[in-house]
């Protein structure tokens, strides 16, 4: 390419042609950067990075510097990908339609097809997946490999840990260990690590840190050091487990999202022809949000595109996803990895500090909170920065001990040379007013009220604008302001939501928490937990408090539980008391005991009796399929009705629907799909903070949005509130230690020192940007052997301080992201007391730094308050406190019903209407009194009948074979079942059949199967007889049948994806062909010749039609000829194999799916 290309159109000319503002000076430098050199654009929040990236492509295409299809744009989310693709398409097409840019129209038109040629855009993972799909066979990865979802990942790992052959150096549960193994495995993938090398590194660390005992020391390492050494051993065990998980995935053709980047990077590194082919495809590469990329992603793209015109666009101040695999190394080493010499670095970096979003007052606090990051990048030491922070946030006070924090310099990584400039307001917004409001409330309730008051005042202004807009033509209407509350933790959400709704403000909870935190879903989970394990008292307490009984009655219930556990009050025994026992056998009304102070009330007895009945219903169906069990639990708790009156805009209703779907998908995922593993999976989701994804919905621009700060990244609002900027005091009333998170003073709760599911920083490829022990030993001269046996080890504590400093820098970036979401006004503050803590809290360090008045500094350094000063106790409270709006609705409905009932006593006609038990009786009563009522009721019935008659339902996205046959044979019945699905009635035979199928699957896989402990003895004997028959039957080694697979799904793409779940695939010793086996536990009768009797022939014929469908789907999905596959029923009780071929001709069974399901073609 020429060094001085012929530029026909300037950015200003192009901007005028496509109807956009001319780019500013910094943006123009990014847009016009050389096309054949790497470039890093550091784009601050609101700097217009997406618009600038799109403009660069238009500029290059318009000037003939690159062909449109030789441009590759990559970003993280599908939404961002769609936005970038839309901007590129729209801008290029607008330009092509302009007669002054006729060359562009020619370039965009495919000469062969006449279609439009456009740039290629994709997500990072989708791009990597294409590489793996196309070339993965070189690593033994099949193009047909299936992508694991979170549930399936968990189930596979849960099964591996459950059946782990060796001992583990941990007392944690199977669920916790499985979660840890998955977490450490994700880091292996994100960091492009080799398991064997990590394992060797852990052993080296253990050997180094447990050297021989120095003279005069104790026989064993001190407790802290021993705990540290044990954690290294446990990490090795977790890696062993993860290695088995990887082997399972490979054997069964599974991949997960992290594998896509991992294997893509491996392929381009090992095979020059692959990276050569990819390299030749593109000349211009745009890498969006590069601060959030991992080591693996940096390696992948640098290996392919080194020396090419790759542009990384990002902001180091917005790097908030380190917990998801992102690494600071990506931006720091981007230019080096892409072939730029150190002395040339500055020529390849362009800042974009001008923001088009925030007013100046908002920018001041955003810039202030990340100032330490800038100081570190400028070369100041961590110790200097830490001292400056302490000077800013603490007032010297002789009454309080000011714990000096050890300087983190010894272990700290060299500061990154990649620095974002201070944000600047664009000229257009410099004269517009902006404001930052500060508060510090006495408790979380008052904080919620302050936030709600803030929005109530502003929403009145918004309503005035909306009213004014109605009187103006669209082109003169003013844009309506928007608002959001951004939370650090989901627990802050409910109080604020209620306070906003009490003021009649529209609220939409879009990203505050996961699905399992929705109140209705949480109730379902609680009911499932206590039904699966009577010892889950905390979950039962949730349900009991939801009944609205008094604390005195709850206290009595506990006393009753203790009495049931030890009725003789024997002081020598202390049995465990279960609250469930007390619920199952409630005390009589009026029961009391010494010290209780009250008697068990009649209302508590009535309400708890209802709960007892509800839970008994759930327990009765505990072995139902998961999806059905969840649905029954919702009905049993009457949550389907309860959510109708909740003031959440139908959120809980959608959440319940989503939860039922998740349960069904979990059950269909395969191994370990039982209630206990499902509940463990939900518990892990809670521990990890994800809580499962909420149902997707388009945000309502007219509502105040509630979401987490992480979820808000990339979004903006006119007004933003950020509560919860407070910290707890350290021990003994001391002040929080300035450089560390949440008053901890030492290290982040997610550092590798405290979390065995994390790989030590010393073993990571990005250790140059992380605090490491190795660096600390080199700088400090600590003798680790001496420290290991010291009574007062300093090295670990000092290292924790360094980790704490690093954690605080990450918190600063998160605060920066939160602050820069506000265009005009920002409300920030905290509270002295929260619902979950008993100790007094003080304004956070960040709040002190950015408050110009100094008030927050005074509050942070004030004398600890007496409890009465902050938390005066009311003499009476309503407990538990229901949401006020919901309570109001319930009260109104109750009052209306009371009025109707009272009136009905004197109005016999109304009384008879209210007591009518069916529509026909209602019609009869109405006909006697009112023609118009008769007509209205009849019209309603006719309309409903017409809807039922003509109603159509959409085909499901996927369908099992049985449902598909129902559609084919009885379309109307299928439609009705779709509109009104009814659960099947359980039976003992069905239960035994289900358990038998589960046992066979586990037996064939070599796994241990646990029979439910509460299974009826008669059903247990039936199951045991079937197990013995099966073992001595077709699978006996003497029979020669070879096991291939079990409990697997195959799908054939038709109008709805046709899914066949097959019991087993075995190789027929007579023919050598794979044979689909369907286990049957039915009882049969036989005629005198030994053949199946006529009364059973119809049932067997139906089974044959079913297994014929399995055979067709199996062959279709694998591309096999039908003759290559056999199928048979195996009746376990009689050791009877019924081959499909023997019945096929007699039943005239279809030989093609199209013949069987013409409705689905």
Angle of the 295-305 helix axis to the 174-190 helix axis, nearest 10? 30
- Taking alpha carbons only, the member of 844, 803, 832 closest to residue 405 is 803
**Burial bucket for residue 77 (CB in 10 Å: 0-12, 13-18, 19+):** middle
Angle of the 223-252 helix axis to the 174-190 helix axis, nearest 10? 80
The answer to whether the annotation marks 197 as part of a ligand binding site is no
- Could you give phi then psi for residue 906, rounded to 5 degrees? -100, -10
Separation of alpha carbons 1105 and 1140, rounded Å = 9
- Taking alpha carbons only, the member of 726, 744, 757, 761 closest to residue 808 is 744
- Taking alpha carbons only, the member of 1049, 1058, 1053 closest to residue 963 is 1058
Residue 389 vs residues 408, 446, 727, 854, 875: alpha-carbon distances, Å: 14, 29, 15, 14, 43
Residue 1048 structure tokens: 């697997």
Residue 161 structure tokens: 């840990």
Separation of alpha carbons 242 and 248, rounded Å = 10
Sign of the dihedral defined by the CA atoms of residues 753, 757, 762, 764, in that order: negative
Residue 290 structure tokens: 């590069």
- Other beta carbons within 10 angstroms of residue 57's beta carbon come to 24
Separation of alpha carbons 841 and 728, rounded Å = 4
- Other beta carbons within 10 angstroms of residue 383's beta carbon come to 17
Residue 593 structure tokens: 């005991």
The answer to whether the annotation marks 45 as part of a ligand binding site is yes
Residue 479 structure tokens: 């844009």
- Taking alpha carbons only, the member of 334, 300, 343 closest to residue 316 is 334
SS3 1007: coil
- Taking alpha carbons only, the member of 182, 317, 455 closest to residue 810 is 317
Separation of alpha carbons 1159 and 967, rounded Å = 8
Core vs surface per residue 241-274: b (16+ CB within 10 A) or e: bbbbbbeebeeeebbbbbbbbbbbbbbbeeeeeb
The answer to whether the annotation marks 50 as part of a ligand binding site is yes
Residue pair 579/541 in contact by the 8 Å Cβ criterion: yes
The answer to whether the annotation marks 44 as part of a ligand binding site is yes
Which own/partner pairs from 222-227 qualify as long-range (CB within 8 Å, at least 24 positions apart)? 222/788, 222/789, 222/790, 222/791, 222/793, 224/793, 224/796, 225/787, 225/788, 225/789, 225/793, 225/796
Helical H segments across 569-601, by residue range: 579-584
- Other beta carbons within 10 angstroms of residue 412's beta carbon come to 24
Q: Can you tell me which residue has the tokens 């035994």?
A: 992
Residue 432 structure tokens: 């517009």
Residue pair 450/437 in contact by the 8 Å Cβ criterion: no
Q: Pairing relation of β-strands 507-511 and 704-708?
A: parallel
Residue pair 55/284 in contact by the 8 Å Cβ criterion: no
- The residues with which 350 forms a beta bridge, in sequence order, are 41
Separation of alpha carbons 359 and 435, rounded Å = 8
The answer to whether the annotation marks 144 as part of a ligand binding site is no
Helical H segments across 674-783, by residue range: 675-687, 709-712, 773-780
The answer to whether the annotation marks 48 as part of a ligand binding site is yes
DSSP 218: -
Separation of alpha carbons 189 and 201, rounded Å = 17
- The residues with which 822 forms a beta bridge, in sequence order, are 717
Residue 768 structure tokens: 């140059």
| Residue positions forming the annotated binding site | 43-50
Residue list for the binding site for ATP: 43-50
């Amino acid at each position: 390419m020429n060094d001085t290309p012929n530029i026909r159109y300037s950015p200003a000319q192009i901007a005028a042609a496509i109807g956009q503002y001319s780019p500013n000076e910094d943006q123009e430098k990014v847009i016009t950067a050389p096309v054949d050199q790497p470039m890093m654009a550091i784009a601050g929040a609101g700097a217009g990075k997406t618009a600038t990236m799109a403009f660069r492509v238009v500029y290059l295409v318009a000037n003939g510097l690159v062909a449109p299809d030789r441009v590759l744009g990559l970003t993280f989310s599908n939404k961002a990908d769609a936005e970038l693709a839309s901007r590129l398409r729209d801008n290029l097409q607008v330009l092509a339609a302009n007669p002054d840019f006729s060359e562009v129209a020619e370039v965009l038109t495919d000469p062969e097809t006449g279609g439009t040629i456009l740039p290629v855009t994709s997500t990072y993972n989708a791009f990597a997946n294409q590489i793996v799909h196309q070339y993965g066979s070189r690593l033994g990865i099949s193009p047909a490999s299936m992508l694991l979802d979170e549930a399936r990942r968990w189930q596979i790992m849960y099964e591996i840990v459950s059946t782990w052959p060796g001992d583990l150096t941990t007392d944690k549960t199977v669920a916790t260990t499985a979660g840890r193994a998955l977490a450490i495995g994700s880091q292996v993938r994100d960091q492009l690590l080799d398991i064997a090398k990590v394992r060797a590194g852990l052993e080296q660390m253990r050997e180094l840190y447990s050297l021989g005992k120095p003279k005069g020391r104790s026989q064993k390492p001190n407790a802290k050091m021993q705990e540290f050494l044990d954690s290294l051993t446990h990490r090795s065990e977790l890696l062993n487990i993860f290695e088995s998980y990887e082997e399972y995935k490979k054997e069964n053709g599974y991949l997960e999202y992290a594998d896509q980047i991992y294997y893509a990077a491996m392929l381009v590194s090992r095979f020059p022809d692959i990276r050569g082919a990819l390299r030749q495809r593109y000349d211009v590469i745009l890498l969006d949000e590069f601060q959030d990329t991992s080591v693996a992603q940096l390696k992948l793209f640098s290996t392919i595109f080194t020396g090419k015109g790759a542009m990384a666009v990002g902001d180091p101040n917005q790097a908030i996803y380190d917990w998801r695999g992102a690494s600071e190394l990506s931006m720091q080493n981007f230019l080096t990895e892409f072939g730029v010499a150190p002395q040339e670095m500055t020529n390849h970096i362009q800042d974009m500090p001008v923001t088009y979003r925030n007013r100046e007052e908002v920018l001041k606090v955003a810039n202030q909170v990340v100032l330490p990051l800038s100081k570190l990048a400028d070369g100041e030491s961590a110790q200097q920065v830490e001292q400056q922070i302490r000077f800013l946030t603490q007032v010297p006070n002789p009454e309080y001990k000011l714990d000096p924090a050890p300087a983190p310099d010894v272990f700290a990584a060299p500061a990154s040379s990649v620095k974002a400039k201070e944000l600047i307001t664009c000229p257009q917004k410099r004269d517009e007013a902006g404001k930052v409001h500060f508060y510090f409330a006495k408790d979380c309730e008052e904080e919620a009220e302050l936030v709600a008051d803030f929005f109530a005042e502003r929403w009145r202004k918004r309503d005035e604008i909306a009213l004014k807009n109605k009187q103006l033509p669209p082109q003169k209407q003013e844009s309506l302001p928007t608002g959001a509350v951004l939370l650090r933790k989901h627990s802050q959400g409910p109080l604020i939501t209620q306070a906003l709704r009490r003021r009649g403000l529209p609220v939409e909870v879009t990203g505050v928490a996961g699905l399992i935190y929705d109140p209705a879903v949480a109730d379902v989970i609680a009911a499932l937990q206590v039904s699966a394990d009577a010892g889950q008292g905390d979950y039962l307490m949730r349900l009991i408090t939801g009944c609205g009984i008094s604390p005195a009655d709850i206290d009595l219930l506990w006393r009753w539980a203790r009495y049931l556990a030890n009725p003789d009050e024997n002081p020598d025994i202390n049995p465990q008391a279960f609250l469930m026992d007390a619920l199952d056998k409630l005390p009589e009304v009026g029961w009391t005991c010494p010290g209780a102070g009250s008697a068990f009330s009649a209302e508590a007895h009535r309400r708890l009796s209802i709960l007892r009945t509800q839970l008994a219903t759930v327990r009765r169906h505990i072995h139902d399929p998961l999806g059905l069990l969840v649905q029954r639990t919702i009905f049993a708790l009457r949550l389907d009705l309860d959510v109708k009156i909740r003031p959440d805009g139908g959120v809980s209703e959608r959440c319940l629907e989503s939860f039922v779907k998740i349960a069904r998908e979990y059950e269909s995922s395969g191994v370990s799909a039982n209630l206990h593993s499902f509940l463990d999976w939900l518990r892990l989701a809670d521990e990890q903070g994800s809580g499962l994804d909420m149902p997707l919905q388009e945000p309502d621009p007219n509502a105040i949005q509630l979401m987490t700060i992480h979820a808000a990244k990339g979004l903006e609002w006119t007004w933003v509130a950020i509560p919860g900027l407070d910290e707890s005091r350290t021990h003994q009333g001391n002040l929080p230690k300035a450089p560390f998170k949440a008053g901890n003073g030492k290290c982040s709760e997610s550092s590798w020192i405290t979390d065995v599911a994390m790989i030590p920083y010393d073993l990571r490829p990005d250790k140059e940007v992380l605090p490491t022990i190795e660096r600390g030993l080199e700088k400090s001269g600590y003798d680790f052997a001496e420290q290991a046996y010291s009574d007062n080890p300093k090295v670990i504590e000092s290292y924790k301080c360094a980790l704490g400093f690093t954690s605080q820098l990450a918190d600063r970036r998160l605060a920066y992201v939160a602050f820069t979401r506000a265009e005009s006004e920002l409300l920030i503050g905290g509270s002295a007391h929260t619902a979950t803590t008993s100790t007094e809290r003080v304004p956070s360090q960040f709040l002190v730094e950015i408050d110009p008045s100094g008030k927050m500094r005074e509050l942070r350094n004030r004398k600890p308050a007496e409890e009465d000063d902050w938390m005066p106790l009311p003499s009476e409270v309503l407990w538990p406190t229901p949401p006020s709006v919901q309570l109001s609705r319930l009260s109104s409905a109750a009052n209306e019903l009371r009025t109707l009932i009272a009136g009905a006593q004197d109005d016999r006609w109304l009384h008879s209407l209210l007591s009518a038990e069916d529509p026909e009786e209602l019609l009869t009563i109405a006909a006697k009194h009112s023609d118009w009522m008769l007509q209205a009721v009849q019209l309603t019935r006719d309309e409903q009948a017409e809807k039922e008659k003509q109603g159509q339902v959409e085909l499901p996205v996927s369908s099992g074979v049985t449902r598909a046959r129902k559609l084919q044979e009885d379309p109307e019945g299928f439609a009705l079942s779709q509109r009104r699905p009814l659960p099947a009635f359980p039976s003992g035979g069905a239960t035994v059949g289900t358990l038998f199928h589960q046992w066979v699957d586990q037996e064939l896989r070599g796994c241990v199967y646990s029979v439910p402990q509460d299974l009826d003895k008669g059903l247990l004997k039936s199951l045991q007889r079937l197990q013995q028959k099966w073992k001595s039957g077709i699978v006996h080694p003497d029979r020669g049948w070879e096991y291939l697979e079990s409990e697997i799904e195959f799908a054939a793409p038709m109008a709805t994806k046709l899914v066949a779940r097959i019991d087993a695939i075995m190789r027929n010793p007579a023919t050598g062909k794979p044979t689909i086996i369907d286990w049957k536990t039915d009882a049969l009768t036989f005629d005198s010749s030994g053949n199946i009797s006529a009364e059973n022939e119809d049932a067997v014929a139906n089974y044959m039609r079913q297994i014929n469908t399995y055979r067709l789907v199996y062959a279709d999905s694998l591309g096999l000829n039908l003759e290559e596959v056999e199928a048979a029923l195996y009746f376990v009780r009689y050791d009877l194999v019924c081959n499909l071929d023997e019945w096929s001709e007699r039943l005239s069974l279809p030989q093609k799916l199209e013949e069987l399901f013409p409705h689905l073609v």
